[in-house]
Amino acid sequence: MMRRLLTFALVLGILLMGAAVPALAQDTLKIGAPQPMTGPDAPFGDKFKKAYGMAVEEINAKGGVNGKKIEVIIDDHQAKNAMAATVAEKLITQSKVLVLTGGRASGQAVEIASVAQRLKTPYVVDHPSADIITAKGFEWVFRNNPTGSIYPQAFNKFISEVPGAMPKSAAVVYDNSVFGKTISNSALTFLKSKNVPIVNDEAYPVNSLDFKPVMTKVKSNNPDYLLMVAVATTDAILLTKHAKEIGVAPRAFVGFGGGFGVEDFAKELGPQSQNVFSSAAWSGNPNDPTVKEFYKKFHDKYGIWPKEHEVEGYAIVYVIADAMRRAQLTGNVDADREAIRQALLKTDMTTVFGKLKFGNWAGPLGDPYTNQNIYSPDHSVLAQWLDGKLQNVWPKSNAETSYVFPDNTVKR
Amino acid sequence: MALRARPDPVDTFVQSVVSGVLTGSLYAMIGVGLTVVFGVMRIINLAHGELVMLGMYGAFWAHALWKLDPFVSIALWAPLMFLGGMLVYRLLLRPIIPGGELNTLLYTAGLSLLIANLALFAWTGDYRTIKLPYAITPLRPFGIAVPIPLAIAFALAIVITAALYLFLSRTDPGRAIRATSQNPEAAALMGIDVERISMLTFGLGSALAGAAGVLLAPSLYLYPTVGEILIAKCFVIVVLGGLGSVSGAIAGGVLLGLVESLGAVYVSVAYKDTIGFIMFLLVLLFRPSGLFGVGKS
Amino acid sequence: MTRGSAGAAVLVLVLAPPLLTSNPFLLHLTITVLLWTLLGAAWNLLGGFAGQVSFGHSTFFGVGAYTTMILYLKGGLAPWYGMVLGGMVAVLVSLPIGLICFRLRGPYFSLSTLAVAEIVRLVALNWEGLTNGPVGLLITTLPRVGWGGRTLDWESKAPFYYMIAVLALASMLATYRLSRARLGAYLLAIREDEDAAESVGIDTVRAKVLTLALSAFFTGLGGGFYGLYFRYVDPDAVFPIALSVEMVFIAVVGGLATVIGPVIGAVFLTTIGEMFRERFLVGHLIFYGLFMMLVIRYLPEGIWGGARRAWAKRP
């Protein structure tokens, strides 16, 4: 019995040792990025991998940061919160990364932020949008991209500024995720403040297989505008498809969420994607020549046009590199992390994503942000799918073309 | 702006019912394969969703590479999956069965992980759909929207189910399957090669899963882990109808489709899945052997 | 080798790690292993001994987690008390669940537990007033606690390690005591043939309900610990089907109805999972699935069962 116990303990020890493989000592500046590389979110993890990769290549080709090369270490969190915590801990304590980024989905990002705050490592958020991430007073967490409640700003401006565009009634269909709830909440608050009657307020479970019942319900109320929020691309595609099949006939279809802004949307829906608005697929100002150049470079390298995720991932590496460059790095991991944090507080730069300066301010729904990009309210744009291409249409300063409104593909 | 007429509430109701039945029939197709396998071998195949996924990808690649319409390529994939299923049974499942039902179930869970992630590796996680030129505008009989691929799938599902019925009731192997399903020991005593029937049944279940996938593909979207979502619905259906009963699975599927559709429109979209599960629990409590009463405990 | 000294040896083995290493990630892994041990052992009581295969244990886990978080964030009750209360709420919840599900046998029972778990998850997702819905509940600071004259350092892994170690050991002890008690024998009888057990005069309903309550209690404790350690709870993290299935895996892979099975299952599955993820960024689950299949194929009685068999066969 004793021997069995001892052999068991030995095996246990060896296994645990094997699992916690210490990082090879390398002279690179390490950035950790938990991402979903398996499971339904895998395509997004892949986008970030490509984006980080391109940025790292460029920076290293130009001599790296103060002579040292940078490296992004990606680890799969499988879209599970507990796994995200494990992966973040591993990156921080085993791989000894200086900075964390990534996360992709808000649930995992909140967990990563919690870990980063406790283990005193800067977490520079590139994409996750839950307000709570920068609204809990975490001084180690910074965010470049807009929060969920800011997303609808451009849409709000559109309906306020374009004559006759204020909805006479609105149906809002959103998914039951943090993302869906935050955005719908923000949009609904604004619409209600303008006394727009909300005829449908429907939350659906993420990855629904069938939206025909929802759309039947929506159609029976004949909404003037149909707002759809979807964190998953699959939901975005099916929502639009079923809405059109059932025959919902608003003056405008407006989509909120990553799924409405990816190439797949038009590729899979074809003509059914025509005239659908996509809010907050902010991917840089397409009228800016530097940004256009980036799009082309990315397309040449990977064969796909970068959108929201790719631009955010690419930009964040530059943000981190900039902070690393200004920080006095000594090789002592703890001191370096603090130095980078101090450098981030002083960040004042422009990336292909847009202008960036971290600050403390109050969001549209009153959330107290810390280290949130003060230019975020500008990073909301209303785009529209026209002939298979997503083009910015509002505000005018970011517009690539004029909008089409009311929707002329729908028979009323 | 002129006031638009609101749809007639009767229209809304009919539309709900039609959508529910159409969608439900596809769910039912998925359930039939699972229930047949359970009836004969008492195996709950957790990899069933992945077999459906393989059917979906089969349809996709046949369309992308050879321009074959899915409703045509089904004639290719169903037999292939039949053979594949038999192989899987013979090589992988048969040695596990003596380990007990729980072990077999967990084995299929491991298999499901394996297949889904191999697919992820091979075909990447990118979402795909099958774009059929006739799929864009739905039919509108009496103003009710009926998407064309769904209608065709429904019709084919009826044909396949009818064929299955004939097979099970009129042919020798079919009757042998039913006999084994009712009582394996008695069947063996009657001279039925239970082993061979099991292999045949698993092949049949796989073929049905693959066929369901092909039919479903034009109306849904494809990605490697879509199986896990489908299988959750599948379980509710087969238990509703009675584990082992083909007609039960069909009734269960259509019923679930109807309940979810009407529930979403008239009760609450957020809770529509809950309604389905509550109904499921109620049936389990008051009629545990399922609607058609042939399920065994 | 007396039982007492074996027990002492186990105690030392389990309590030693924080003293042997200060590598936080290694400790994090061990904490994860111990949490899974607790959950696996809890499931094992009902599934291994009584043969009632539940696929809905995430219900109790989530209930424990949310109770702990809500009582702390909205009521100020320290999470270690909340954890115990979480376990008790899980027991309360298990009573109606048992009432409904125990009427069914075999796969029907299993699927009914799954249905219940899904319903609870959807309720948690939509009942925002109570649970904050999909946004979830986040602990930013834990209360200051004194222990032996110093305040506990929540940044260190040690306090969490000892907490979960104690819980895991408690669950193993409970399993041990159960296996020796009459209730244990009743459960095994029920597992073999419930009707026969009834006919012999065993009160199967009472036995099953008691075992479910015990199982739910430990699972709820585990959920409370999860909230305390991982600091963040949302419906998808604590109520998913995958969690229930993982608990089953651990108990089966380790060895059903044994005391040490869950530990072995937890150790193997956690470390194997880590190793594969380390090696293969995208393909690691392929190997994980393969590993599962191989274990069940060649070690149908679990790793402990297989090891015992091999040990018995030695010349």
**pLDDT at res. A97:** 96
Interface touch A268/B221, C-beta < 8 Å: yes
Q: Would the pLDDT of C104 be above 90?
A: no
**pLDDT at res. C163:** 92
**pLDDT at res. A76:** 94
**Chains linked to C by 3 or more Cβ pairs within 8 Å:** A, B
Q: 């170690």: which residue's tokens?
A: C165
* C173 domain residue, yes or no: yes
Across the interface, of A168, A217, A412, the residue whose CB is closest to B265 is A217
Question: Is residue C264 within 8 Å of A4, Cβ to Cβ?
Answer: no
- B20 to chain A: nearest residue by CA? A213
Closest among B48, B91, B74, B70 to B206, alpha carbons compared? B48
* C304 domain residue, yes or no: no
Per-residue pLDDT, averaged over B121-142, amounts to 84
Least confident of A87-91, A365-369, B154-158, B240-244: B240-244
* C6 domain residue, yes or no: no
Pairs from A133-137 (Cβ < 8 Å, separation ≥ 24) = A133/A106, A133/A109, A134/A369, A134/A370, A134/A371, A134/A372, A135/A363, A135/A367, A135/A368, A135/A369, A135/A370, A136/C138, A136/C140, A137/A368, A137/A370, A137/C140
Q: How confident is the model at residue A262 (pLDDT cuts 50, 70, 90)?
A: confident
Per-residue pLDDT, averaged over A306-332, amounts to 93
Per-residue pLDDT, averaged over C297-311, amounts to 85
- Kindly report, residue by residue over C207-219, the tens digit of the pLDDT: 999 999 999 999 9
| Dist. CA C11–CA B288, nearest whole Å | 46
Q: Name the DSSP letter for residue A119.
A: T
Question: What amino acid is encoded at A285 in this protein?
Answer: N
- pLDDT averaged over chain B? 86
**pLDDT at res. A267:** 85
**pLDDT at res. A12:** 61
**pLDDT at res. B229:** 82
- Chain B neighbors of C117, CB-CB under 8 A: none
% of chain B beyond a pLDDT of 90: 36
Q: Would the pLDDT of A106 be above 50?
A: yes
A409 touches chain B (CB under 8 A): no
**pLDDT at res. B163:** 92
Q: Would the pLDDT of A5 be above 70?
A: no
Interface touch B269/A271, C-beta < 8 Å: no
| Dist. CA A377–CA A386, nearest whole Å | 25
In a mutagenesis test of the B interface, which of C244, C279, C296, C299 is the best target, namely the one with the most B β-carbons within 10 Å?
Answer: C296
Minimal Cα–Cα distance from A5 to chain C, Å? 8
- Kindly report, residue by residue over C133-167, the tens digit of the pLDDT: 888 999 988 888 877 667 777 888 888 999 999 99
* C295 domain residue, yes or no: no
Q: Would the pLDDT of A13 be above 70?
A: no
DSSP H helices, C106-260, are 106-126, 128-131, 158-180, 182-192, 194-199, 204-230, 235-238, 241-254
- Chain C neighbors of A4, CB-CB under 8 A: 307, 311
Q: What range does the domain containing C215 cover?
A: 23-141+155-240
Domain count, chain C: 1
Give the predicted TM-score (pTM) of the model.
Answer: 0.89
Q: How confident is the model at residue B295 (pLDDT cuts 50, 70, 90)?
A: very low
* C15 domain residue, yes or no: no
Least confident of B60-74, C24-38, C275-289: C275-289
Question: Is residue B117 within 8 Å of B242, Cβ to Cβ?
Answer: no
**pLDDT at res. C166:** 93
**pLDDT at res. A3:** 54
Q: Would the pLDDT of A15 be above 80?
A: no
Q: Would the pLDDT of B261 be above 50?
A: yes
A345 touches chain C (CB under 8 A): no
Interface touch A74/C281, C-beta < 8 Å: yes
Interface touch A220/B124, C-beta < 8 Å: no
- pLDDT averaged over chain A? 89
- B99 to chain C: nearest residue by CA? C300
Q: How confident is the model at residue B3 (pLDDT cuts 50, 70, 90)?
A: very low
Q: Would the pLDDT of B2 be above 50?
A: no
Q: How far is CA C206 from CA A272, C56, C101, C196, in A?
A: 60, 20, 14, 16
Q: How confident is the model at residue C111 (pLDDT cuts 50, 70, 90)?
A: confident
Per-residue pLDDT, averaged over A265-279, amounts to 89
Residues 9-38 of C with CB under 8 A from A: 9-10, 13, 23-26, 28-30, 32-33
Interface touch B270/A221, C-beta < 8 Å: no
- Kindly report, residue by residue over C189-238, the tens digit of the pLDDT: 988 888 888 898 888 888 999 999 999 999 999 999 999 999 999 998 99
* C298 domain residue, yes or no: no
A219 touches chain B (CB under 8 A): yes
Q: Would the pLDDT of A19 be above 70?
A: no
* C28 domain residue, yes or no: yes
**pLDDT at res. C277:** 87
* C276 domain residue, yes or no: no
% of chain A beyond a pLDDT of 70: 93
Closest among B209, C26, C276, C253 to A38, alpha carbons compared? C276
Q: Would the pLDDT of A412 be above 70?
A: no
**pLDDT at res. A10:** 59
| b/e B195-207 (16+ beta carbons within 10 angstroms → b) | eebbbbbbbbbbb
- Kindly report, residue by residue over B162-204, the tens digit of the pLDDT: 999 899 889 988 889 888 888 888 888 888 888 899 999 999 9
Per-residue pLDDT, averaged over B58-70, amounts to 92
Per-residue pLDDT, averaged over B6-20, amounts to 85
- A14 to chain C: nearest residue by CA? C271
Minimal Cα–Cα distance from B57 to chain C, Å? 18
User: Does B4 or B94 have the greater pLDDT score?
Assistant: B94
Strand, coil or helix: what is A349? strand
- Chain B neighbors of A163, CB-CB under 8 A: none
Across the interface, of C10, C234, C311, the residue whose CB is closest to A81 is C234
